[in-house]
């Protein structure tokens, strides 16, 4: 259902000289949703985000927020705010002055901007650090300050460029659940750029997969993971095999491939590799037709009847789990 605060990209294009970084993309971000722009390095994610923020000029197309084309407005007038990868805090300003900065630029008087900044610091649990300088904070704390600073303008859309990439893996997982919680509490649209599939699956209501300057597939996280439409999406999301069958190319999840006795499968193969993964075991198999297939088996099932590299096996699946690929 469309709402007044949706954000729509209409044939949005970015060219740098002869390089087309974003090629006439079309997309509707529903108001209040958490969207992840996902794709490999160089696919055009950051250029898209920066155009929405107003930090990159639009070559062609429109960016419609709340019914108005904001593509040519200055960043502060768009109803969007951006949180940068390196947080971009002012090193000489205290935490609270960093957060209040954009209100100062707008001419809001000191008492009011400190009150508002205090509220935002409370929201991100950083009240106790209000008078510190950014250099006296950990990476995770700096990130909270950067979030508060972006949110102080009351944006309808918060844009986050790889917000978790500077954090260590443990903190990354913790901060990602905090981001999700914050988005739910605020009820505004978050658009989060990442090249991490796990991050996108964990956070997004909607995943927008980009490849070569275009949107390859967009939809709810579960749908994009379970029903990839192209070979690129199947491989990039991971956890899938792409197999060529007489009727065409199909994706099937590795945990939906079963290993049988050699003459009982749909395809015959040989085990070429074996990886213990804790809860499961990943078997790499080469079919008679030279296709590499991975089967992920629960570890108890594997150890009840272990098979070894070199063993001949059959491979089977439920045909309803095959997803036809269009490219
Ligand atoms: N300022 C620029 N001048 C020229 N080309 C650029 C510029 N910025 C980006 N590009 C090119 O545009 C394409 C898309 O870049 P972009 O940064 O949007 O991709 P990305 O998906 O965000 O990549 P990454 O994950 O590495 O940040 C790339 O081919 C890149 O080299």
How confident is the model at residue 5, as a pLDDT? 83
- Using 50, 70 and 90 to split pLDDT, how confident is the model at 107? confident
CB atoms closer than 10 angstroms to residue 236:
22
The dihedral of CA 252, 40, 159, 3: what is its sign?
A: negative
3-state helix, strand, coil in the chain (%, to 5): 35, 35, 35
Domain that holds residue 136: 7-226
Q: To test the ligand 1 pocket, which listed residue (42, 82, 194) has its Cβ within 8 A of the most ligand atoms?
A: 42
Give 120's DSSP letter: H
Domain-located, residue 236? no
> The CATH number of the domain where 115 resides is what?
3.40.50.300
- 68-69/157-161 β-pairing: unpaired
**Same-domain check for residues 86 and 146:** yes
**Same-domain check for residues 27 and 117:** yes
Backbone angles phi, psi at 135, to 5 degrees: -65, -15
**CA-wise closest residue to 15 among 57, 50, 78:** 57
Ligand 1 neighbourhood includes 49 CB (under 6 angstroms)? no
Give 73's DSSP letter: S
**Same-domain check for residues 179 and 69:** yes
How confident is the model at residue 104, as a pLDDT? 87
Ligand 1 neighbourhood includes 40 CB (under 6 angstroms)? no
Ligand 1 neighbourhood includes 47 CB (under 6 angstroms)? yes
- Using 50, 70 and 90 to split pLDDT, how confident is the model at 2? confident
CA of residue 200 to ligand 1 center, whole Å:
20
**Same-domain check for residues 116 and 262:** no
- Using 50, 70 and 90 to split pLDDT, how confident is the model at 135? very high
CB atoms closer than 10 angstroms to residue 91:
8
Q: What is the pTM of this model?
A: 0.91
**Same-domain check for residues 249 and 289:** yes
Of 226, 253, 268, the last residue of a domain is: 226
Number of domains within the chain:
2
Question: How many helices (H) does the chain have, and how many strands (E)?
Answer: 9, 18
Ligand 1 atom with the smallest distance to the CA of 17 is 4
**Structure confidence by residue, pLDDT tens digits, 140-189:** 899 899 999 999 999 999 999 998 888 888 888 888 988 999 999 999 99
**Same-domain check for residues 62 and 101:** yes
How confident is the model at residue 1, as a pLDDT? 67
User: What share of the chain in percent tops pLDDT 70?
Assistant: 99
> The CATH number of the domain where 277 resides is what?
2.40.50.100
């Amino acid at each position: 259902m469309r709402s007044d605060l949706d954000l729509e990209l209409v044939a949005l294009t970015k060219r740098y000289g002869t390089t087309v970084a974003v090629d006439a993309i079309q997309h509707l971000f529903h108001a209040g949703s958490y969207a992840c722009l996902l794709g490999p390095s160089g696919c055009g994610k950051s250029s898209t985000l920066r155009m929405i923020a107003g930090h990159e000029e639009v070559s062609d197309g429109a960016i419609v927020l709340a019914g108005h084309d904001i593509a040519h407005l200055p960043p502060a007038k768009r109803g969007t705010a951006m949180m940068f990868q390196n947080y971009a805090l002012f090193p000489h300003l205290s935490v609270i002055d960093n957060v209040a900065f954009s209100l100062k630029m707008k001419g809001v008087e000191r008492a009011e901007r400190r009150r508002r900044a205090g509220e935002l610091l409370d929201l991100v649990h950083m009240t106790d650090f209000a008078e510190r300088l950014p250099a006296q904070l950990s990476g995770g704390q700096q990130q909270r300050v950067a979030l508060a600073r972006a949110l102080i303008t009351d944006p309808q859309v918060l844009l986050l460029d790889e917000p978790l990439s500077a954090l260590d893996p443990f903190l990354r997982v913790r901060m990602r659940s905090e981001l999700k919680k914050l988005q739910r509490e605020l009820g505004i649209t978050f658009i989060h750029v990442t090249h991490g599939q796990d991050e996108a699956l964990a956070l997004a209501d909607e995943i927008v997969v980009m490849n070569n300057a275009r949107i390859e597939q967009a939809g709810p996280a579960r749908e994009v993971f379970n029903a990839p439409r192209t070979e690129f999406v199947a491989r990039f999301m991971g956890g899938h095999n792409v197999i060529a069958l007489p009727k065409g190319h199909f994706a099937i999840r590795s945990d939906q491939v079963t290993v049988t006795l050699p003459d009982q499968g749909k395809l015959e193969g040989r085990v070429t590799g074996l990886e213990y993964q804790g809860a499961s075991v990943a078997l790499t198999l080469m079919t008679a037709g030279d296709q590499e297939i991975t089967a992920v088996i629960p570890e108890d099932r594997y150890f009840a009847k272990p098979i070894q590299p070199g063993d001949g096996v059959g491979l089977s699946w439920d045909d309803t789990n095959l997803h036809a690929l269009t490219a």
